[in-house]
Chain A
Amino acid sequence: MNDLGWIDPVLGAARPQVMGALLRYFRNLDTAEEAFQESCLRALKNWPQNGPPRDPVAWLILVGRNAAMDQVRRQTRMTELPDEAVLSDLEDAEASLADRLDGEHYKDDILRLLFVCCHPDLPATQQIALALRIVCGLSVKQIAQAFLVGEAAMEQRITRAKARIGAAGIAFETPGAPERAERLAVVAAMIYLLFNEGYSSSNSQEVEARKPLAEEAIWLSRLLLRLFPTEPEIMGLTALMLLQRARAKARFDESGNVVLLEDQDRSLWSRPRIAEGLALIDKAMRHRQPGPYQIQAAIAALHARATRAEDTDWAQIDLLYANLERLQPSPVVTLNRAVAVSKVKGAQAALDMIEPLGERLRGYFYFHGVKGALLEKLKRPDEARKAFGQAIALANTPAEAAHIRQHLDRLSAG
């Protein structure tokens, strides 16, 4: 039994707030990171003997700040040095800092940290890498492994991202309400993209490697929800990810093949995650401000509520997709809606719905897969075979191709 297993989670949980405060002091990501590292090292030395401090966050901020001050002082003459006596009296300083942190201040610190990582000058891949490194505290090696790239390449991606931010300058003023909302949407999009990086892989080994990405995305989303506890779309985003992640164990069979939603063993779904996801979507709906994340979460909730696949409320799912189409028109949404339509109104209605998408989704694996399955149901085997053939040609992974081949085998057998 590891008695000190509690320390790492406390350091990890404190990280966004401590990094946010250190960034406010030093206005430089590298300095803040080094200061945080130093404070963690000291915590690992100090806490096992003395027990946890009353307020771990305040402790880490003070110790990190002092350590970096020493460092900075050696390099430059600073005019406004804090009173040594105050800083060395850790208990008092910790208490007073803790009081100040109680205000809205700390929210701005964490938010700034998130906004910095989601700087509009950065491409999405760099935003994600930076957030994982700076906010979640994953090592470069861990991030590289999750993205299935080399460590040196990931190191370079992060260094480039930091250089761009440095060149653009970090905004330290608190943004006004409209800008805040806009940037909040960017952070939410980054989190969902991160989640999909961890979720969309279609074989079980890859999923194992990428699992931390989905977990970190949920962790970041809860962090965001604590900052914006009344924001229905952030509730929706968190719910959506929890409900999708709840199915993780059921998504692959023992040999690593994809198991489709309707064939999944629902007893493998994670009940606590579903409970939390449903609670959040219930809360979000009360606000009556629907948005894309909430609608997608509501669809996932209908799947989660169905004890058996045949209990799924497809009519309601069709309605929700129709709303999503209105809010966020896209051929992929229409394609998803067609699956619900096929259950409610039959395969022909669904096929009529997706035929016009052929032009835009020509290169999309799922389009041909869905089309093939509909044609199969309508007893048009030749056309079905053709669609499945196109799907196999477009498959991104052997698992996807194998899944389509099962359809083809069934057609030949029938």
Chain B
Amino acid sequence: MLYAILCYNSEEAIGAWSKDYHDQTMTRLYAVNDKLAREGRLGPVARLLPTTAATTLRKGREEMVIDGPFAETKEQLLGFYVIDCASLEAAIDTAKELARANPGTGSYEIRPVAEFHPSQLPDQKKPAA
């Protein structure tokens, strides 16, 4: 079954990472990616720009375009993974691996995927990792 693992953390804290700490953490996270890829379990992965770059379209009788996310929260959605997991336990184990690679504050929300359409982007449209 496919699970989305949604990464929440304080973007202020992530933004305060030193370059060294950033590089070390990303190396550890990419190692988890590689392992999942080897196991044939890794779906799309995305890291999002800060919420200051976000815009929200609020639906309604009159549509509203809002600067930033709709609701202000202490932890922000910073990115997500789509991963094939045999069970919820396996999904939790994967989230724990990510947490070990990137310890500290924040949380991973594990959400089973109801419907999934693989990427149809031409290769050159994909931003570099």
Q: Are B16 and A12 in contact (CB under 8 A)?
A: yes
Interface size on B, residues (CB 8 A): 27
Q: How far is the CB of B126 from chain A (nearest CB, A)?
A: 12
Please report the C-alpha to C-alpha distance between residue A347 and residue B67 in the assembled complex, in whole angstroms: 42
Question: Which candidate, A1-9, A252-260, A388-396, is the interface stretch facing chain B?
Answer: A1-9
Find chain B residues with CB under 8 A from A5 CB. 18, 21, 24-25
Please report the C-alpha to C-alpha distance between residue A283 and residue B74 in the assembled complex, in whole angstroms: 23
Question: Which candidate, B45-53, B80-88, B111-119, is the interface stretch facing chain A?
Answer: B45-53
Q: Are A275 and B127 in contact (CB under 8 A)?
A: yes
Q: Are B52 and A238 in contact (CB under 8 A)?
A: yes
- Determine whether A13 belongs to the interface, using a CB cutoff of 8 Å to chain B: yes
Please report the C-alpha to C-alpha distance between residue A275 and residue B49 in the assembled complex, in whole angstroms: 8
Question: Given A6-B105, A56-B105, A280 and B52 touching (CB < 8 A)?
Answer: yes
Question: Given A276-B50, A280-B52, A3 and B17 touching (CB < 8 A)?
Answer: no
Please report the C-alpha to C-alpha distance between residue A1 and residue B102 in the assembled complex, in whole angstroms: 11
Q: How far is the CB of A273 from chain B (nearest CB, A)?
A: 10
Q: Are B67 and A13 in contact (CB under 8 A)?
A: no
In B9-63, the 8 Å CB interface with A consists of: 10, 12-18, 21, 24-25, 28, 49-50, 52-53, 55
Q: How far is the CB of B9 from chain A (nearest CB, A)?
A: 9
Residue in chain A with minimal CB distance to B21: A5
Please report the C-alpha to C-alpha distance between residue A260 and residue B18 in the assembled complex, in whole angstroms: 29
Find chain A residues with CB under 8 A from B12 CB. 13-14, 223, 226
Find chain B residues with CB under 8 A from A238 CB. 52
Please report the C-alpha to C-alpha distance between residue A226 and residue B76 in the assembled complex, in whole angstroms: 12
- Determine whether A10 belongs to the interface, using a CB cutoff of 8 Å to chain B: yes
- Determine whether B128 belongs to the interface, using a CB cutoff of 8 Å to chain A: yes
Which of B16, B25, B52, B105 touches A226 (beta carbons < 8 Å)?
B52
Which of A3, A57, A279 touches B49 (beta carbons < 8 Å)?
A279
Please report the C-alpha to C-alpha distance between residue A13 and residue B16 in the assembled complex, in whole angstroms: 6
Q: Are B53 and A271 in contact (CB under 8 A)?
A: no
Q: Are A229 and B49 in contact (CB under 8 A)?
A: no
- Determine whether A364 belongs to the interface, using a CB cutoff of 8 Å to chain B: no
Please report the C-alpha to C-alpha distance between residue A222 and residue B102 in the assembled complex, in whole angstroms: 23
- Determine whether A105 belongs to the interface, using a CB cutoff of 8 Å to chain B: no
- Determine whether A383 belongs to the interface, using a CB cutoff of 8 Å to chain B: no
Find chain B residues with CB under 8 A from A219 CB. 15-16
Please report the C-alpha to C-alpha distance between residue A55 and residue B10 in the assembled complex, in whole angstroms: 10
- Determine whether A52 belongs to the interface, using a CB cutoff of 8 Å to chain B: yes
Please report the C-alpha to C-alpha distance between residue A3 and residue B12 in the assembled complex, in whole angstroms: 19
Residue in chain A with minimal CB distance to B20: A5
9 further A-B contacts with Cβ under 8 Å, apart from A13-B12, A14-B13, A280-B52, are A3-B103, A6-B102, A6-B105, A10-B13, A52-B105, A56-B10, A57-B74, A98-B74, A279-B53
* Chain B residues close to A by CB (< 8 Å): 10, 12-18, 21, 24-25, 28, 49-50, 52-53, 55, 65, 67-68, 74, 102-105, 127-128
A-B pairs, 3 with minimum CB distance: A6-B104, A13-B12, A9-B16
